[in-house]
């Protein structure tokens, strides 16, 4: 297998257990794995098939996106000024027109956008599969793009006629959902180290599925090694009211009642949680995908990330869907995560009597390095990975390089790593995933962006004219 030596790196931020930040850094990659990390002097004399000089660059682990709805880049900049409930009810009928070609092309465009912004591993929560849509198309798109991919088999089964939020045209039969999940696991799930493809089971939300589907999905996932569980939770006050009225409990209580707390579970958003509920997440190992852009876009609130981290809850970052964010840039999510926690102390209120609603806690600032840790190690942990998220011997060769000589990074010599968060968002100049170079000199090596955009535009025309 080919051996690659990168050297002369201005700053090599490993995010390893010692959090080493190596000036004049170097790294040796053999095939798809890292075999040595150190200074250029320490790795001098090592033979390699290829040498890449990255002087003038910052190198860090590729980032891990833990929550997305890739198909939504077909419905960007819609429902710009309304709350989540209106947003969903407006977009559900449009999404009901999707077909498998639309899923495929939207996934490729979403993945390209993610990779260009420093992401090397992503999940995707595909919870609406009308017409002939399949999760397989997103997995095949990831194989083509070279993205390390965790495909979440989402589902909605409780339509309006059964007391749910989505229209009946957007829901599926629960037996069919579970059968398809079993098929996907058998065909695409690879639990081995350095795996490029894994399956997640992901019923959409408490107001779009039944408790039986939640329980059955959990049992199915836990019967297969490495299959994890994901859903939305505590995203909006509407959801809190729904759970109270339908189940007589808060969203976190509902999740626990159906077996959905544990170290194989992570939830998107988790905004409206009490301190006691955060304690419960910490005790059970349940994780959170923080999606600051989307939470701001729909005016939902500020998740208590500082309190979660201080109590030991594992937190990663997610860009969320391109219709509830309108972009997919992990550097931006890291920056907004940092900024929001500095605003949060002015927004947090004491918990209301009875434990329903409210914030509570006294958070302090989030640092740039903590934000990047959530984007790397935190995300890897949510996905159940011990082979990505930091740079060290034995880890997967997933890393990115950002050129320092650019307008947005002028004057950042004091701390070029923090600058990637505080001065961003940025695009990467080099991206390697599983040892394969995906971006070189700021351009994709084997992906025709213009052709993909043309196909995407034609797909939009077709879907909207349907």
**Position 358 confidence tier, pLDDT thresholds 50, 70, 90:** very low
pLDDT in tens, 45-76: 899 999 999 999 999 999 999 999 999 998 88
Nearest Cα neighbor of 11 from 24, 28, 29 is 24
Q: What are the structural domains, with CATH classification, of the chain?
A: 3-62+389-444 (2.30.40.10)
Higher per-residue pLDDT: 41 or 238: 41
Given a contact cutoff of 8 angstroms between Cβ atoms, the answer to whether 380 and 63 are in contact is no
Q: Which helix (H) or strand (E) covers residue 144, if one does?
A: helix 136-145
Residue 348: predicted pLDDT: 47
- % of residues, the chain, pLDDT over 90: 81
Report strand pairing: 287-290 vs 443-444: unpaired
**Position 364 confidence tier, pLDDT thresholds 50, 70, 90:** low
Residue 292: pLDDT above 50? yes
Residue 136: predicted pLDDT: 98
Residue 370: pLDDT above 80? yes
Neighbour count for residue 58 (Cβ, 10 Å) = 26
pLDDT in tens, 116-165: 999 999 999 999 999 999 999 999 999 999 999 999 999 999 999 999 98
Of the ranges 25-39, 47-61, 317-331, 376-390, which one carries the lowest mean pLDDT score? 317-331
Residue 345: predicted pLDDT: 60
Higher per-residue pLDDT: 466 or 22: 22
For 157, counting Cβ atoms within 10 Å of its Cβ (0-12 exposed, 13-18 middle, 19+ buried), the class is: buried
Residue 352: predicted pLDDT: 40
**Position 357 confidence tier, pLDDT thresholds 50, 70, 90:** very low
Structure tokens at 385: 């990975």
Residues 119 and 140: their CA atoms lie apart, in Å, by 18
Higher per-residue pLDDT: 179 or 355: 179
For every residue of 387-440, DSSP letters joined together read SSSS-STTSB--EEEEES-SGGGTT-TT-HHHHHHHT-----SEEEETTEEEEE
Residue 10: pLDDT above 80? yes
Residue 389: predicted pLDDT: 98
pLDDT in tens, 379-393: 999 999 999 999 999
Residue 1: predicted pLDDT: 66
Neighbour count for residue 444 (Cβ, 10 Å) = 18
Residue 299: predicted pLDDT: 77
Q: Mean pLDDT over residues 237-249, rounded?
A: 94
pLDDT in tens, 395-418: 999 999 999 999 999 999 999 999
**Position 367 confidence tier, pLDDT thresholds 50, 70, 90:** very high
pLDDT in tens, 272-291: 999 999 999 999 999 999 99
* pTM of the predicted structure, to 2 decimals: 0.94
Tell me which range, 93-107, 260-274, 337-351, is most confidently predicted by mean pLDDT: 260-274
- Would you call 302 helix, strand, or coil by DSSP? coil
Residue for token digits 């209301």?
352
**Position 19 confidence tier, pLDDT thresholds 50, 70, 90:** very high
pLDDT in tens, 192-229: 999 999 999 999 999 999 999 999 999 999 999 999 99
For every residue of 240-260, DSSP letters joined together read HHHHHHHHSS-HHHHHHHTT-
For every residue of 84-111, DSSP letters joined together read HHHHHHHHHHHHTT--HHHHHHHHHHHH
Query: What average pLDDT does the chain have?
Result: 92
**Position 80 confidence tier, pLDDT thresholds 50, 70, 90:** confident
Q: Mean pLDDT over residues 176-202, rounded?
A: 98
């Amino acid at each position: 297998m080919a051996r690659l030596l990168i050297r002369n790196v201005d700053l090599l931020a490993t995010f390893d257990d010692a959090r080493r930040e190596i000036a004049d850094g170097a790294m040796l990659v053999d095939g798809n794995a890292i075999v040595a990390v150190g200074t250029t002097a320490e790795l001098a004399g090592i033979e390699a098939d290829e040498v890449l000089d990255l002087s003038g660059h910052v190198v860090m682990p590729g980032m891990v996106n833990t929550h997305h709805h890739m198909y939504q880049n077909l419905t960007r900049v819609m429902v710009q000024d309304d709350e989540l409930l209106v947003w969903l009810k407006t977009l559900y009928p449009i999404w009901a027109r999707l077909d498998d070609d639309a899923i495929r092309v939207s996934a490729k465009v979403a993945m390209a956008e993610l990779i260009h912004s420093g992401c090397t591993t992503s999940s995707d929560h595909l919870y609406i599969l009308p017409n002939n849509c399949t999760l397989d198309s997103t997995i095949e798109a990831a194989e083509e793009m070279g993205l390390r991919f965790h495909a979440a088999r989402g589902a909605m089964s409780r339509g309006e006629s059964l007391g749910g939020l989505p229209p009946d045209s957007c829901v599926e039969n629960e037996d069919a959902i579970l059968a398809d999940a079993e098929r996907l696991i058998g065909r695409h799930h690879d639990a081995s180290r350095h795996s490029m493809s894994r399956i997640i089971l992901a019923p959409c939300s408490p107001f779009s599925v039944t408790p039986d589907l939640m329980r059955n999905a959990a049992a199915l996932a836990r019967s297969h090694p490495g299959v994890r569980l994901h859903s939305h939770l505590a995203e909006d006050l509407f959801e809190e009211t729904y759970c109270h009225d339908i189940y007589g409990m808060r969203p976190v209580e509902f999740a626990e009642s159906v077996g959905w707390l544990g170290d194989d579970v992570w939830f998107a958003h988790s905004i409206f949680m009490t301190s006691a509920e955060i304690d419960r997440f910490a005790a059970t190992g349940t994780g959170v995908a923080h999606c600051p852009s989307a939470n701001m876009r729909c005016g939902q609130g500020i998740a208590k990330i500082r309190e979660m981290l201080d109590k030991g809850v594992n937190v990663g970052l997610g860009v969320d869907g391109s219709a509830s964010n309108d972009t997919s840039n992990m550097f931006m999510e890291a920056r907004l995560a940092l900024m929001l926690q500095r605003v949060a102390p002015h927004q947090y209120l004491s918990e209301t009597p009875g434990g329903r609603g409210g914030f509570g806690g006294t958070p302090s600032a989030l640092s740039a390095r903590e934000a990047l840790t959530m984007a790397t190690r935190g995300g890897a942990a949510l996905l159940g990975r011990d082979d990505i998220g930091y740079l060290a011997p034995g880890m997967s060769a997933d890393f990115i390089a950002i050129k320092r000589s650019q307008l947005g990074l002028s004057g950042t010599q004091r701390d070029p790593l923090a600058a990637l968060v505080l001065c961003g968002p940025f695009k990467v100049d080099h991206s390697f995933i599983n040892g394969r170079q995906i971006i070189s000199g700021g351009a994709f090596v084997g992906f025709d962006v213009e052709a993909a955009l043309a196909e995407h535009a034609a797909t939009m025309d077709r879907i909207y004219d349907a």
